[in-house]
Structure 1
Amino acid sequence: MAEPQRVYHGQSHVDALLDDFRAQRDAFYMPDAVELAIWFHDAVYVPGARDNEERSAALLRKSLDPARALFLTAWTSLEGPARSNMQREWVSLS
């Protein structure tokens, strides 16, 4: 169950992302990496904080080997238009 301030970014949000992802899993270049990114993308949430995505990425880095974490972290730090096909895939899910 999500905390009250996480109305949108609770488990139902993650479940919806996972459902969408699994329906098109074969279309992704690195589906396992995308699934991990979904699980971690909103792992840290402090209302009003501007670094929630960075903190979520840091948690991911602590949980994975450095090379995989670096790859996945790219998705959590997007600004402006997505710059690659993999980033566009991630943005389309979230």
Structure 2
Amino acid sequence: MASVTSLVDQFCDAARQAGATAGDDDLRAAGDYLLGRWSEPQRHYHTVAHLSAVLAVVDEHAGLAPHPERVRLAAWMHDAVYDPRALGDANERDSAEFAAGLLATLGVPDRVAAEVARLVGLTAGHATGDDDPDGELLCDADLAVLAGDDEQYAAYTAAVRREYAHVGDDDFRAGRAQVLKALLELPTIYRLPSLREEWEQRARANLEREMLGPSQPGRP
């Protein structure tokens, strides 16, 4: 995982590339503030480690997106608001609204801030349009964990379960099953062809195995 300083540097670079007019001190303060949110105590999976993992995928495959700086900012914002007790897509909606507001304070042009907020909203259902490579890269990066090896996938499901410790086992299994079913019913889990080829089969196998075994509700 990248260091805190490196992560903040990455945030500042993405914000500048997106047109932010704020000074360096304000950009760094915003990056530090975001890292504070990603470090909140209720988080066990949706942590700085998850943020770093998503950013790493975006960086590796940035050439697949026309506006990788917007995708990077959306990665920073997509779980900026995270309450495991929230219902439905409230976290994603609130994160999108938060993104638009924060980026506006940093001087990012309105149309770019609105586009970053739109990208954040896509992570609620991970379904994108037919011509949305920025959205596809963000969603594919967010779901990359599903294609992990056995140890990585087990760590992911255990961390999600800890985030929902307030939910009883029976209710959790029912809620988690709904999440798994929704993912498996996507036409493809991964939208970008190269990532689909690399990850789709493994991710579906992981999800199907979890459906059949002891489930561990939560969004990925």
Which TM-score band applies after superposition, normalised by the shorter structure?
0.7 to 0.9
Percent identity, please: 30
CA contact (8 A) 2:119 2:138 kept: yes
1:85 aligns with 2:132: yes
Q: TM-score, normalised by structure 2?
A: 0.39
Q: Post-superposition shift, 1:70?
A: 1.4
- In the alignment, which of 43, 68, 88 is matched to residue 112 of structure 2? 68
| Map of 2:70 onto structure 1 | 33
Give the 3 Å change call, closer, same or farther, for CA 61–22 of structure 1 in structure 2. Answer: same
| 1:15-26 superposed matches below 5 A | 15-26=52-63
Q: CA RMSD in A?
A: 1.8
State the alpha-carbon separation in 1 of the partners of residues 84 and 137 from structure 2. Answer: 27
Normalization by structure 1: what TM-score? 0.85
The CA distance in 2 between the partners of 1:3 and 1:72, in whole Å, is 23
Q: 1:81 to 1:58 in 2, by over 3 A?
A: closer
Higher relative contact order, structure no. (Cα contacts within 8 Å, ≥ 6 residues apart): 1
Tell me the distance in 2 between the aligned counterparts of 1:2 and 1:14: 10
AA in 2 matched with 1:66: D
| C-alpha deviation, 1:2, in angstroms | 2.7
2:46 aligns with one of 2, 6, 9 = 9
Pair 1:54-2:93 in alignment:
yes
The 2-side partners of 1:12 and 1:80 are apart by 20
Per-residue CA deviations over 1:44-74 (Å, capped at 9, x if unaligned) read 1122213111111111111224211211122
Task: Tell me how many residue pairs correspond in the alignment.
Answer: 94
Q: State the SS of the aligned residue for 2:42.
A: helix
Greater displacement, 27-36 / 82-91: 82-91
Q: Is the 8 A contact 2:78 2:96 kept in 1?
A: yes
Structure-2 separation of matches of 1:15 and 1:56: 18
Deviation at 1:80, TM superposition (A): 6.4
When structure 1 is superposed on structure 2, of 67-76 and 37-46 the one drifting more is 67-76
Q: Deviations over 1:5-58 (max 9, x none)?
A: 211110000001111111111221101100000011100112221311111111
Contact kept? 2:74, 2:116, Cα under 8 Å: yes
Tell me which structure has the larger Cα radius of gyration. Answer: 2
